[in-house]
Structure 1
Amino acid sequence: MNQTASNSSAFARDEEGNYQASRPVSADDVLELARNILAERVHRGTVISSPREAEQYISLRLAPREHEMFAILWLDNRHGVIAFEELFTGTIDGCSVHAREVVKRALANNAAACILAHNHPSGNPEPSAADQTITRRIKEALGLVDVRVLDHLIAAGGGVSSMAELGMV
């Protein structure tokens, strides 16, 4: 059996590609495996074809974090993934986000569009006034270099809030 790329050695793949537990597993082991599988599926060139795909990916990547993390899923003009970058790390209740740095990363990635994302360690996925303000500032800044902001997803607990679905993007 081949070991997965996971930090945990709880799972291995058999010859048919199925996962087998190599020891008793915890819920954290299962979530780590799920994150790894999703990361394999959402790689450079993968087209994000629905809001749900983006929400699942963001939820698995950011929801379990104990501190706020602001990340961006950079996309090409057909919504193919260029990169997923964790740009800013904060505290348990906030994160400083700098529009200038976001624009620099957009240009470095040659992105045509993006999905902003961050987590709320509190467990409440509802956008705050600060979330709305930074979304507006980043959207304006990226608009100057022709990069579209498709959504701002907030992962918390078991849910994800889409600011686009709420009419805030």
Structure 2
Amino acid sequence: MPRLAPRIDDVAAAHRMFAAIAAASNEVAVFAYLDHERRLLAMRHSPARDAMSVRLPIRQVAADAIAFDAAALVMAHNHPSGDLWPSDADVAATRTLDRALAALDVALLDHLVVTRSGVASFRLLGLL
């Protein structure tokens, strides 16, 4: 019997999926595409432009969501500085992505900031 992909039902499950990026020395963004049951369909990584910023490729994320027939998406990026609080640029880019995905009927469930000391959820912080 084939093994089902993991369900991403809460911040803890998402954090486990993205925990490995906490150790990266440069910022990296990761996008997890989910089906209607919040099961993982695919993941993509976006390379860092430099040590302290990451590219948010909205067109590519939207194209991937369509290609994977995703119903939802969870994204994460790391802060090598250890600061869990999202920057103003993080918030603005996330809101832009949320609007773009909503137009495609794809829900942006959360955006996590991952560090060695923990995780911050845009959803739980009221930023999404």
Per the TM superposition, whether the score is higher than 0.5 is yes
Identity %: 32
Distance 2:46 2:78 in 1: 13
Structure 1 residue 91: Cα displacement: 1.6
Q: Match for 2:75 among 77, 102, 116?
A: 116
Structure 1 residue 58: Cα displacement: 1.2
Q: Match for 1:141 among 78, 83, 100?
A: 100
Question: What's the secondary structure of 1:67's corresponding residue?
Answer: coil
Instruction: Give 1:55's aligned residue.
Output: 15
Distance 2:86 2:103 in 1: 24
Amino acid of the residue matched to residue 18 of structure 2?
A: I
Note the aligned Cα RMSD (angstroms): 1.4
Distance 2:45 2:65 in 1: 13
Are the equivalent residues in 1 in contact too, given 2:25–2:80 (CA < 8 A)? yes
Are the equivalent residues in 2 in contact too, given 1:71–1:85 (CA < 8 A)? yes
User: Which deviates more, 69-78 or 90-99?
Assistant: 90-99
Q: Which runs of 5+ in 2 are unaligned?
A: none
- Would you say 1:162 and 2:121 are equivalent positions? yes
Runs of 4+ in 1 over 3 A off after TM superposition: none
User: Which deviates more, 133-142 or 95-104?
Assistant: 95-104
Structure 1 residue 72: Cα displacement: 0.6
Q: Deviations over 1:46-87 (max 9, x none)?
A: 21232211112212x210001110111110011011112112
After superposition, where does 1:21-100 map in structure 2 within 5 Å?
A: 45-59=5-19, 61-100=20-59
Are the equivalent residues in 1 in contact too, given 2:46–2:55 (CA < 8 A)? no
Quickly say closer, same or farther: Cα 1:67–1:155, change in 2 above 3 A: same
Larger radius of gyration: 1
Are the equivalent residues in 2 in contact too, given 1:114–1:151 (CA < 8 A)? yes
Task: Give the number of equivalent residue pairs.
Answer: 126
Q: Whose RCO is larger (CA < 8 A, sep 6+)? A: 2
Amino acid of the residue matched to residue 58 of structure 1?
A: F
- Would you say 1:132 and 2:91 are equivalent positions? yes
